[in-house]
A and B are shown apart, each in its own frame.
Chain A
Amino acid sequence: MDFNDTPEEAAFRQQVRSWLDANAARKSDDKTSIRARVDDVELLKRAKAWQAKKAEAGYARITWPKEYGGLGGTPIQQVIYSQEESNYLVPLGFFDIGLGMCIPTMMAYATPDHLQRYVKPALHGEEIWCQLFSEPAAGSDVAGIRTRAERDGDDWVINGQKVWTSGAHYSDYGIIITRTDPDVPKHQGLTMFFLSMKAPGVEVRPIKQISGGANFNEVFFTNVRVPDSQRLGKVGDGWKVALTTLMNERLAVGTPAGGLDVDELLELARDTELEDGPAIRNASVRSKIAEWYVQSQGLKYTKFRTLTSLSKGQTPGPESSIAKIVAAPKMQDLGAFGMELMGPAGIMTKDVPGAGGFQQQWIGGAGFRIAGGTDEILRNIVAERVLGLPQEIRVDKDVPFSQLGKK
């Protein structure tokens, strides 16, 4: 047992490091992220420039075949690149959805001409893609979407609303799942398209979250015309296409964890005076610190187990499915407990220990428990796919979509 690279991995890491040293600045002790340093417009400009550089070097999508501008590399090489890149002050995150989910879906269903046209600009950061799936009435049950696409000559006309669309406000293109036939059961009446986010009738509005941030959008479609040539997959096969998209969700491993954790809580407990002495001497405080530490370390080493499988060229086991089930509630609870240690002043968001980080964890945790699969859906997935328990009963399975909710 060890954490070492194989000789090949070590060589690749060295190669990546040399390239990064030559092309980017290493992070200093000043942990201020690049997002906090520049405004949004400048950030996007820099992100596109960095993406272009990566693409020229083949690092933009390491596991893609060379014909698409990738490196033809392995998943572990992608992880190594991401680990190394996280040590440099570079703007990331704008292209993950497009390159991780949208373009792979295009590769599976779009025509050669379209691939010729769209893959390279996406890879080089010239065009950004978003994924238009969730709707106000269809979150966990995404097959319940209502956005309509109706055939009109060689075009389709799209009307409806999407929500929680990350990056829609700076995206150039999107893939969208629509309902083309409401008179068949819900999974059968769906069709996927790609479209321009600049097309007439597309309106993007940011959603302000509890945390005050606005990372997501609602997107309204009013008589948006999309040519039939931009259909992905057959009419009525949209669910199958959507599953391709979802299966291509980028490898979550290797992503640097953000936010404060047990070390910061330990520091806070040491610096906080309770009635009978420092909080760190309090048995119930110690018990909580121990429990969260065990969770943090458990997730860290679970990731190492997954990386080991990748390193050996094996498919990782189901253990990685526990990550968000553990991390999200922990984020919320650890934040809340840090606030509690500060006494009534724990409600303050500035001039408090941790620079407001505990308060951010507490607020953000509420969203993290929902985003990308709720706690409850993730438990269903573990129960069904890992433990082999029955799927949820689907009372809407054989009912035409248009008849749902009607007696």
Chain B
Amino acid sequence: MNFDFSDDQKMLKEQVRKFLADKCPMKVVRRVLDGEETHAAEVWQGLADMGLMGTAIPEAYGGLGLGPLELCVIAEELGRACAPVPFSSSVYLASEAIRRWGSEAQKKAWLPKLARGEAIGTLATAEGPQPPSPRTVRAALTDGRLTGSKLPVADGEAAHVAVVVVNTGGSGQRALSLALVDLSAEGVSRTRVATVDPARKHARLDFSNAPAELLGGKGKGWQLLNELYDGAAVLFAFEQIGGAEAAMWMGRDYALQRQAFGRVIGSYQAIKHKLADVYVKTELARSNAYYGAMMYAENGADLPIAAAAARVAATDAYDFAAKENIQTHGGIGFTWEADTQFHYRRSRLLALAIGGPTAWKDKLVTRLERKNAA
């Protein structure tokens, strides 16, 4: 039984953790949240200097040629730090989509720059306040030109390239395709949108006859998006687990220090049991996420189930950890000065980014039904 990360992977994790503890403390998260900058550029550069954006990109395209397991340990640390950088958009989603389904020309054009962190990628799916689906995507790709709007798009202002879910005509799932769009091209305009987590800026992207290319086959957009989400679900799960743990220890530290009725509040069972429950949920999530990581790394037949289970467990853990962290803090936890808000905001962002927990629970059961029927 070897159900653990390797020593090298643990060392990488430690290295990322130290870097972020040093260069990305909560005051950096606060700076981005409060300010105009799209992301913490110096943190992004530091991650690039370590080569981390190229972790899973093949060496032939300038990456490190490692794989999902290394990305998992990085994701956990980014989550722990609430890092205000476009890593998930650029690495888990855009780079991964281009690596898997890009033509040779598309890979050559983008992967080396993405690997070096010189270019930032993103994924654009939603078109306003309803979940993106074959029934709701209107942005249309015709004759190499894209017209329509996407919002919110994570890191949409900072990104240089976007993988866009588009409508290419036809009915049902077959109507959707993935398109690759150079965001510096004509016909692309971007507007910042207000969100609950301004430490990760989001934008509205408007396309008006913007040049765009198909990525992967025509009519395969929905299928590819779901495949992309399975891997991303594992990585998001690790990010959520890192965040959940950080929120748990923040609450615990406060509970050890804050006095009420003549005792530290951490001595009351109401608080102890609450924080114990956070620990339980986080460990359940971690164990599910490990299996998801293993399936992602070996592209196992169980990946769709394992990824959904990891996603459901980790979303639950981070949601719970973040909100009970505020509750443990009491009034001070609801002030702008407190750091509790970063996890609360981020937990909701990550919960919704690639589909919410209700949708993933439904997917999980569908996949279980399919497996049991087989």
Is A249 an interface residue, CB under 8 A from the partner? no
**Which of A76, A263, A305, A383 contacts B275, CB < 8 Å?**
A383
Q: Beta-carbon contacts of A38-76 to B below 8 Å, as 1s and 0s?
A: 000000000000000000000000000000000000001
Complex Cα distance A152/B252, Å? 52
Complex Cα distance A291/B263, Å? 36
- Range class of the A interface residue count: 35 or more
Q: Beta-carbon contacts of B1-29 to A below 8 Å, as 1s and 0s?
A: 11111000000000000000000000000
Tally of contact residues, B, Cβ under 8 A: 48
**Would A293 and B279 count as touching, CB distance under 8 A?**
no
Complex Cα distance A266/B5, Å? 33
Is B335 an interface residue, CB under 8 A from the partner? no
**Which of B2, B316, B365 contacts A311, CB < 8 Å?**
B2
Beta-carbon contacts under 8 Å, A268-290 to B = 270, 280, 283, 286-287, 289-290
**Would A305 and B312 count as touching, CB distance under 8 A?**
no
**Would A287 and B369 count as touching, CB distance under 8 A?**
no
Give chain B nearest CB distance to A83 CB in angstroms.
Answer: 10
**Would A298 and B287 count as touching, CB distance under 8 A?**
yes
Known contacts A289-B365, A379-B273, A1 near B372 by CB under 8 Å: no
A5 neighbours in B (Cβ, 8 Å):
1
A389 neighbours in B (Cβ, 8 Å):
252, 255-256, 266-267, 271-272, 275
Give chain B nearest CB distance to A111 CB in angstroms.
Answer: 40
The number of A-B residue pairs with CB atoms under 8 Å apart is: 160
Is B362 an interface residue, CB under 8 A from the partner? yes
Is B294 an interface residue, CB under 8 A from the partner? yes
**Which of B2, B252, B275, B309 contacts A1, CB < 8 Å?**
B2
Beta-carbon contacts under 8 Å, A1-42 to B = 1-5, 9
A2 neighbours in B (Cβ, 8 Å):
2-3, 294
Known contacts A298-B283, A386-B279, A389-B272, A307 near B3 by CB under 8 Å: yes
Known contacts A2-B2, A304-B3, A389-B256, A382 near B279 by CB under 8 Å: yes
**Would B288 and A298 count as touching, CB distance under 8 A?**
yes
Complex Cα distance A293/B360, Å? 13
**Would B293 and A298 count as touching, CB distance under 8 A?**
no
A-B contact pairs, 8 of them (CB 8 A): A270-B369, A283-B362, A287-B358, A307-B1, A307-B3, A319-B283, A382-B279, A389-B275
Name B's A-contacting residues (CB within 8 A).
1-5, 69, 248, 252, 255-256, 263-264, 266-267, 269, 271-273, 275-277, 279-280, 283-288, 290-291, 293-294, 297, 308-309, 312-313, 316, 358, 360-362, 364-365, 368-369, 372
